[in-house]
Amino acid sequence: MSSDTPTTAVAAAPRRLTGIPAFAVVAAIIGLALAASAAPSPLYGVYQQDWQFSTITLTLVYAVYCIGVLGALLAAGSISDDVGRRPVILTALTGLVASTIVFALAESVAWLFVARALQGVSTGLALGAAGAALIDLHPAADPRRVGLVNGTVSAAGMGFGSIVSAALVQYGPAPKVVPFVVLGVLFAVALVGTLLLPEPVRDRSRPALALQIPRIPPQIRGAFTLAALAVLASWSIGGIYLSLGPRLASEMLHTQNHLAGGIAIMALTLPGVVTQLLWHEVDPHRLASVGAAVLGLGMALIVASLSTGSTVFFILASALTGAGWGVAFLGALRSLTAVIPPQHRAEVMSAFYVVAYASLAIPAIVAGVVVTHISLDDTFRIFGSLVVVLAAIVSVMAARVRTSSARVVTA
């Protein structure tokens, strides 16, 4: 009788995903979270026309999402270091499913505030825990590959979320419902995948929920500072594109088709994915330096394209900017993931995403306010010029860090 007990226990134990499948599930969650963040963008014009609210209100809807992300990262960014990755990711995905339901049922701008706030908090929880799990579950524990995957799925998620949503809004039935039904189904699938994940955190403890700035271990503060500056330069462009891009693309492409905004964002993100795949073996500090320089050049050309009115010039300049964005972001991630102590992974990745989302949010929110007082083109020129300056600073700093590192190695 007693010999049967272990067999029964083993048979009852749930099967867990391991190796590449487990890693792929976590990567997909990051991509889906960022796809969901971009999905409402093509609909904002529809909402504004149907419910007759101001541009300032629209900016506040965007701000609520960003505040939700930042609040979750600051209050619970390191919670998965305490309670484990799976419980936090499951909670986040449940919240994301709920947000798609609120979006699909929305009947007024008040519903949008609720949906975006819920989406923001859930995304913040997901990014902190999934970013750490991505490092935990990589089959070869290779931080270089982890940085590459994180960078590519982030860029691809934003791009595909925007273009697929735009296509569904333009050509699908029930444009205010179908994009969120699709997202809800995908999040439900991700929930099932998460239930099958192993739990990489062995020593778990009671969580402490309190609003606090994530602490960066002293030994990696230099690496974090460089990564933060690189992500500041790259994600600030994403914020400008997500807020002003659809309207600007409609003007530059001379069309009211909702796909115009999706094409503009895809022109930015797709080259970012490609350049990361092509350059992933390069030294991360060189990636950050060269990427920021290319990013700055591309943004300067976008600003110039506004004066020419050339559609081709605008798309090509966007693609060049995206190429630099992808490389700079990859350099930032790789230089950071290589040095994070295992016990601080969720906390440091949460701090990284705090910087990323602040970079995404602040320019977009401020631009949304400024554009109500001056023209769209002038707003884009001002913020684009600021990004060019920031990118130049990051490029020089990354080059100096690389030179200093090379001298130390030589000595």
The pLDDT confidence band at residue 144, using thresholds 50, 70 and 90, is confident
Contact 363, 383 (CB under 8 A): yes
pLDDT of residue 212: 65
pLDDT of residue 350: 78
Over residues 160-194, the pLDDT tens digits come to 898 999 899 889 899 999 999 999 999 999 999 99
Residue 1 has pLDDT above 60, yes or no: no
CA distance 31 to 101: 20
Phi and psi angles of residue 280, each rounded to the nearest 5 degrees, phi first: -65, -15
Mean pLDDT to the nearest integer, 288-304: 90
* First vs last C-alpha separation in the chain: 69
Give the burial string for 5-15 (b: 16+ CB within 10 Å, else e): eeeeeeeeeee
Question: Considering just the CA atoms, what is the radius of gyration of the chain in Å?
Answer: 21
Q: Is 408 exposed, middle or buried (0-12, 13-18, 19+ CB in 10 A)?
A: exposed
Cα–chain center distance at 35: 8
Token pair for 309: 């009115």
Over residues 109-143, the pLDDT tens digits come to 999 999 999 999 999 899 888 988 888 888 877 77
pLDDT of residue 48: 85
The CATH H-level superfamily of 17-200+214-410 is MFS general substrate transporter like domains (1.20.1250.20)
Residue 411 has pLDDT above 50, yes or no: no
Mean pLDDT to the nearest integer, 353-360: 81
Contact 325, 234 (CB under 8 A): yes
Q: Give the Cβ contact number of residue 206 at 10 Å.
A: 6
Over residues 243-266, the pLDDT tens digits come to 677 778 888 888 888 888 788 888
Express as a percent the part of the chain with pLDDT over 70: 91
Map residue 277 onto helix, strand or coil. helix
- Residue-averaged pLDDT of the chain: 83
Contact 331, 269 (CB under 8 A): no
Q: Domain boundaries in the chain? A: 17-200+214-410
Phi and psi angles of residue 166, each rounded to the nearest 5 degrees, phi first: -60, -40
Over residues 17-76, the pLDDT tens digits come to 778 889 999 999 999 999 998 888 888 878 888 998 887 888 888 888 888 988 888 877
pLDDT of residue 4: 47
pLDDT of residue 3: 45
Give the burial string for 299-335 (b: 16+ CB within 10 Å, else e): bbbbbebbeeeeeebbbbbbbbbbbbbbbbbbbbbbb
Q: Is 110 exposed, middle or buried (0-12, 13-18, 19+ CB in 10 A)?
A: exposed
pLDDT of residue 11: 42
The pLDDT confidence band at residue 209, using thresholds 50, 70 and 90, is low
Mean pLDDT check: name the lowest of 64-73, 200-209, 250-259, 334-343. 200-209
pTM: 0.80
Map residue 282 onto helix, strand or coil. coil
Give the burial string for 156-174 (b: 16+ CB within 10 Å, else e): bbbbbbbbbbbebbeeeee
CA distance 274 to 291: 13
Pure H helices in 220-344: 221-252, 259-279, 284-308, 311-337
Contact 147, 337 (CB under 8 A): yes
Q: What letter does residue 13 receive in the DSSP assignment?
A: S
Q: Give the Cβ contact number of residue 373 at 10 Å.
A: 8
pLDDT of residue 195: 92
